[in-house]
Amino acid sequence: MKKKGLLFALCLFLCISFNPIQAMAAESPSYSLSLTSNQTQVGSQVRVVVKGTQVTDLFGYEIRLSYDTTHLRFIKGTSPMNGFSVPAIVKEGQVIFAHTKVGKLPGDSGDVELASFTFENLSEGPAEIKLIQVKEVTSAMQAATVTSDSKLAMDITPKQGVAITFSDMANHWAQKAVERAASLGIVNGYDDGTFQPDGKVTRAEFTAMLVRAISLTSKDAQNMQFSDINDIPQWAKAYIFEAASAGVVTGYEDHSFGADRLISRAEMAVMVARAIGLESNSDEADSFADEDQIPAWALQEIKASRKAGLIQGRDNNYFVPDDQATRAEAAVLILAAYDNFQSANER
């Protein structure tokens, strides 16, 4: 009942008229689209973000955008703002997505990221996504509509991608997996042509890789509310919010996400198991030699990942859950999860 009441309130105040004199007194806000992930192959996903500049006291909003239904399929919309989202309305090539804060809170001001939208590339050819308008609502329940001509054009290419190689991956144990993951757009190399397989991976980086590989389903209209949200890199926010709303990532006891914190092997295995929906009741799976060192919160997911063939131990069958994962290990695990997910959805 509480959520229904909140959603009703959102729908109500989005229809409230605004005071034009007060609106003219403030600097005019503007809204635009930008790409956070532009995988151009058929079957891959593209993610776009709606951003606002010179925004004042934004408490709630309704976004309307259009897209090419011949080449694109809408998957979902998520918001980084605290509060609740109304499930997107999709009809005749248009998406309407609304979100509101809840309680006696101020609205957001300045440069604000409103929402992230995910689309699947259906077929070859040129495609366009256009932002039509944003209805704003302030904390004083004043509403205004801002039109936009911001649009993104892309050229969707055939499914077969160009093979990608890295200068430092020759004869590496993970060479084939890393290069395949790169060709799928899951992982990226560096400007000098290297992959740096032994480099460490942050929680933000691993989350981005995982979201690029797996199509996640939101489980709750309420997005995460991390205490260190301002410390999350802008490029990673859309990925982290999507993973959080799907229940794949959670914060620490102090409610922080720790975007720059190096991810552990245990955290990595748990996130992958949640992303592809592995059954956590896997007591029959083979044990690691250091199972007594695996934290209780990660044990069932690690067992499930091993049973599914996604993870293996290091030397002498040790999992070493607290060790920091390397870029090569992350790529291999996510590619295995990708294959598992694709196989499960083809059955």
265 has a pLDDT exceeding 90: yes
Contact 200, 326 (CB under 8 A): yes
> Nearest CA to 245 among 271, 272, 216?
216
Phi, psi of 345 (to 5 degrees): -85, -10
251 secondary structure, DSSP code? -
Contact 127, 67 (CB under 8 A): yes
Q: Quote the tokens at residue 233.
A: 């890199």
What pLDDT score was predicted for residue 202? Answer: 96
Angle at 77 between CA 75 and CA 82, to 5 degrees: 155
98 forms beta bridges with 62, 86
CA–CA separation, 194 and 13 (whole Å): 52
pLDDT tens figures, 212-262: 888 787 765 455 578 888 898 877 887 888 888 888 998 898 989 999 999
Contact 188, 45 (CB under 8 A): no
What pLDDT score was predicted for residue 16? Answer: 43
> Nearest CA to 28 among 8, 63, 55?
55
pLDDT tens figures, 279-337: 766 565 678 999 999 999 999 999 999 988 898 888 888 999 999 999 999 999 999 99
pTM of the model: 0.66
**Cα end-to-end distance, the chain, whole Å:** 38
